[in-house]
Amino acid sequence: MLTHNWTVGRKLGVAFASVLFLFAGVVLLSVAQINRLQKSSELLRSDGLYKSSLARTAQSAASSQVAALYSLFFLDQRDARIPVYRAIDQNKSKFSQALVELRNANSNPKELAIFDQVQAAREHFEAAAGATYDEIELDPMSAKNVMVNQTVPQLAELEQRLEELATSQNQRVESEIAANGEAGEIAEKLIITFGALATVIAALSSYAITRSIVRPLSSAVQFADDIAQGWLNSTIPKTGDGELKTLLLALDRMRLGIDAREKHISVLAYYDPLTGLPNRTKFHQQLSAKLVGGAAQIHEISVMTMNLNRFKNVNDALGYEAGDALLKEVGKRIQAILENTHGMVARQQADEFSILLPVDSTHYATDIAQQILVAMSEPINIAGQPVDVEASIGIALSPQHGVEPDRLLLCADHAMQAAKLTHSGPVIYDPIHAKGIKDNLTLFSELRNAVEQNEFVLYYQPQLCLKTNTVLRAEVLVSWQHPKRGIVPPDSFIPFAEQTGAIRKISRWVLEHVCILLAAWQQSDVKLGLCVNLSARDLTAPGFLEFVDGLLNKYRIDRTLLSLEITESAAMEDPVQCLHTLKRLRELGMRLSIDDFGTGYSSLSYLKRLPVAEIKIDKSFVLNMDNDADDDKIVRSTIDLGHIMDLEVIAEGVETAASLQCLREYGCDFAQGYFIARPMPVDRFENWLKEQRKST
Ligand code: C2E
Ligand code: CA
Ligand code: CA
């Protein structure tokens, strides 16, 4: 349509202009028509009256002439007749005058023809009247004859002609007036028709305009309502043009703006800005959605909580930027593993991640968790430096462990804490873990008091020198003499003590007692060294070096008699700090040993820089070296490796004569294990030592 691209203003303008134009036309036309009719009727009327009065004047002039003629018959004296003749002449000229005027006033051919007859009749009448005057003067009797036989009939003839003329003129006026009436009717019809047309056009254009405004307006309202309802995928209505199209386009821009902003808000509300992973809220939402479908679902759900073991150290040693980079990489690695599993990972807080996984079996969940742990144990490159982070994962399953999101998350968290303590892969939730948490709280307050209450006891396990077959040193192992639980072995509380920081007090207690014992032995000439286990926490504890130095000075101990064992993984936790502390300890004159060697992922180049005198092959390799060829190879090559690096080598976990024999053959320097002796309290150990020295 032509008007399709017109603006509403233009449409309204054009519509109203045309309506006005039509009305103006109708008004002007009517006025002109009516004026014309009025004028023509007036003209006709005056023209008709004028002409008929002229005809009547002529008629009366003729009649007066005849009357004058009659009066002549009664006047015998010639002198008396003269004024009559004068009157007759006046009438004649009056008559002529009227005829001239009639002639001039008539233009109608029919009336002109009648006028010619009037003219002819007048001439005949004048001739007859003239003959009558002449005879009156000559022969009045003959004059009477002429009068009766010629003049009077001629007058009648003339009168009739004049009557005809008047009648014809009247008829014409009448018919013209009638014609005017018809024209009036036509004008009326025209006015009605144009008026109706104008009304129809006005009605049609107002309908069209209303339609072109109201329809798009109501679609615009509907569109705006949709946006208000949050249906932001609604498409812009196709109706409307001009200003309305502009309005709809503006609404559409508003829709797109709201949509973009909503998406942005949802990203802020549901995603973790650092890793780009879903956040705690989103995870909760997804978990709830999965659980609502509960009974209808064939698959079970697994919720995992993962926590990094050494995240704080990375933050402390390398800074928050490194920590952030690490968390991003951790997120990516988990996502890569979950790629084809329909699982999702979210970052809960700090270094804690949650994983939601549809599972067929507990086996499957454990398998995925295991894959994640393996991925976490691969060093992560941060700013060109490989960083070791290990993780702990706890698994809760629905419906077994619960059907509510919070409950499942709590179970997964308890299981994760158990995993942190055991350090042996993912842990599936067991109600005992919840109890364990409560126990831990009690344990925590109990441990705090244990040092002050002197509840720890030390056990000593000899280390045999394989070259001389003598015992030169013993390892000191701590146990907790719990007032209610009895003897608690170190594996049951040391990891917890490390987590809570209580280990620092325990280490100081152990070191002090070891120094007291060494000092006592020095006095009684017992020549024996002692090895104390240190934890990673001790190496970073402020004032630790000063404390050790203070002890050695206080008890005046031969510093070479004190050895310190640091596990390989502890040395890897914070390599820079560890290297620094170990160097200082070495400077203080102590002998250092790497414990549990072979279980960490330390690089040889790093180990080479550590100021240690000894490596201790982990008992997991030694225990099985009799039966397992691989373990045997590992033990043998570790011994060679230690020697290549100019280090002494000790094997722990020697339980059999065969393994001891092998170690001797492989050139191992020292051996420790149940086959030689179990860890013993001090008095029993001193007795054992005496027996031993006697027999050799
Ligand atoms: P570790 O340093 O590797 O200590 C050796 C562990 O192996 C001791 O367990 C010891 O009893 C055990 N063992 C020795 N010979 C044999 C053997 O022939 N066969 C077997 N199966 N085991 C043997 P224990 O006393 O339970 O200590 C466990 C761990 O607790 C220690 O492992 C050490 O990491 C930690 N620990 C013990 N005392 C202390 C301490 O005073 N401070 C610190 N930080 N940790 C300690
Ligand atoms: Ca040890
Ligand atoms: Ca060990």
Ligand 1 site-directed mutation target among 477, 672, 674, most atoms within 8 Å of CB = 477
Q: What is the pLDDT of residues 303-354, one digit of tens each?
A: 999 999 888 888 888 889 999 999 999 999 999 999 989 999 999 999 999 9
The first and second tokens of residue 63, run together, are 């009649």
- pTM, entire model: 0.49
Most confident of 380-384, 421-425, 454-458: 454-458
According to the model, what pLDDT value does residue 584 have?
95
Residue 143 pLDDT more than 50?
yes
- CA-nearest residue, atom 41 of ligand 1: 478
Tell me which of 180 and 660 has the higher pLDDT.
660
Give the confidence band of 230 by pLDDT, cuts at 50, 70, 90: confident
CATH numbers and ranges of domains, the chain = 2-213 (1.20.120.1730), 280-434 (3.30.70.270), 444-695 (3.20.20.450)
- CA-nearest residue, atom 10 of ligand 1: 679
Tell me what the mean pLDDT of segment 499-516 comes to.
91
Ligand 1 atom with minimal separation from the 503 CA: 44
Alpha helices in 524-654 (DSSP H): 536-540, 544-555, 568-573, 575-587, 604-609, 619-622, 629-644
According to the model, what pLDDT value does residue 461 have?
98
Residue 538 pLDDT more than 90?
yes
Ligand nearest to the CA of 476: 1
Most confident of 38-52, 102-116, 316-330: 316-330
Cβ atoms 429, 415 nearer than 8 A: yes
Q: Which of 125-134, 144-153, 167-176, 450-459 has the lowest mean pLDDT?
A: 167-176
According to the model, what pLDDT value does residue 296 have?
44
Residue 656 pLDDT more than 90?
yes
What residue ranges line ligand 1, CB within 6 angstroms?
Answer: 461, 477-478, 489-491, 494, 503, 507, 510, 533-535, 595-596, 619, 652-655, 672-674, 679
Give the confidence band of 601 by pLDDT, cuts at 50, 70, 90: low
Cβ atoms 318, 399 nearer than 8 A: no
According to the model, what pLDDT value does residue 632 have?
97
Residue type, 201: I
Percent of the chain with pLDDT over 70: 96
Nearby residues for ligand 2 (ion, Cβ within 5 Å): 533, 565, 595
Q: How far is the CA of 592 from the centre of ligand 2 (A)?
A: 11
Q: Which of 262-276, 509-523, 612-626 has the lowest mean pLDDT?
A: 262-276
- CA-nearest residue, atom 25 of ligand 1: 477
Residue 299 pLDDT more than 60?
no
Angle at 330 between CA 326 and CA 331, to 5 degrees: 120
Tell me what the mean pLDDT of segment 96-108 comes to.
83
Ligand 1 atom with minimal separation from the 654 CA: 18
Q: How far is the CA of 586 from the centre of ligand 2 (A)?
A: 18
According to the model, what pLDDT value does residue 491 have?
84
Most confident of 23-37, 321-335, 440-454: 321-335
According to the model, what pLDDT value does residue 246 have?
84
Tell me what the mean pLDDT of segment 423-449 comes to.
76
Ligand 1 site-directed mutation target among 533, 537, 544, most atoms within 8 Å of CB = 533
According to the model, what pLDDT value does residue 35 have?
80
Question: If you ran DSSP here, which 8-state letter would residue 148 be given?
Answer: I
Beta-bridged to residue 487, according to DSSP, are 481
Ligand 1 site-directed mutation target among 494, 510, 625, 631, most atoms within 8 Å of CB = 494
Look at residues 573, 656, 31 and name the one whose alpha carbon lies nearest to residue 308: 573
Q: Which of 371-380, 475-484, 493-502 has the lowest mean pLDDT?
A: 493-502
Residue 63 pLDDT more than 90?
no
Ligand nearest to the CA of 617: 3
Tell me which of 560 and 233 has the higher pLDDT.
560
Mean of the per-residue pLDDT values of the chain = 87
Residue type, 226: D
Nearby residues for ligand 3 (ion, Cβ within 5 Å): 595-596
- CA-nearest residue, atom 27 of ligand 1: 490
Ligand 1 atom with minimal separation from the 458 CA: 41
Q: Is the peptide bond before 681 cis (omega within 30 degrees of 0)?
A: no
According to the model, what pLDDT value does residue 2 have?
67
Q: How far is the CA of 616 from the centre of ligand 3 (A)?
A: 7
Q: How far is the CA of 8 from the centre of ligand 2 (A)?
A: 92
Residue 618 pLDDT more than 60?
yes
Please state whether 350 falls in left (phi above 0), alpha (psi between -120 and 50) or beta: left
Tell me what the mean pLDDT of segment 584-599 comes to.
94
Calculate the CA 475 to chain-centre distance. Answer: 65
What is the DSSP secondary-structure string of 64-99? HHHHHHHHHHH--SHHHHHHHHHHHHHHHHHHHHHH
Rounded to whole angstroms, how far apart are CA atoms 381 and 489?
Answer: 38
According to the model, what pLDDT value does residue 133 have?
82
Rounded to whole angstroms, how far apart are CA atoms 72 and 94?
Answer: 20
